[in-house]
Amino acid sequence: MSKGGLTEDEKFIIALYEMTQQQADPEEPLDAYIVGQSIGMQTRRVDAISTQLMRTNFLKRQDKHFVYLTTNGVNLAKQLLENI
C-alpha cells in the first residue's frame, strides 16, 4: 500500500507520528494545524479529523489545537508504516 492509498485520518496519524519522532521529547504535543498543513489539509478538515480521532481514542488534545497520539495512536501509526 502506498501513502496515496491511505485515508485522510491515516495520513494525519502518520504525519503526527513522524513529526513527534523528530522532536527531542516525542510526547510533546504538536499544533494539529501544522501537522495538517504538512499533508495539504485545510483547517476545518483538521478540526473534523482531530475530533474523530479523539472519539476513537487515537488522539488526545492538550490545549485548543495542540494534540498528541495515545498509545493506540502510536500503535496504529507503526502498523500503517509497516504496510506502506
Residue 43 CA to residue 74 CA, distance in Å, equals: 23
The share of the chain scoring above pLDDT 90, in percent, equals: 86
**Banded pLDDT at 2 (limits 50, 70, 90):** low
**Banded pLDDT at 76 (limits 50, 70, 90):** very high
The share of the chain scoring above pLDDT 70, in percent, equals: 95
Residue 83 CA to residue 23 CA, distance in Å, equals: 24
Residue 66 CA to residue 50 CA, distance in Å, equals: 10
Selection from 19, 22, 24 nearest residue 66 by Cα: 19
**Banded pLDDT at 67 (limits 50, 70, 90):** very high
Mean pLDDT of 22-50: 95
> Rounded to two decimals, what is the model's pTM?
0.92
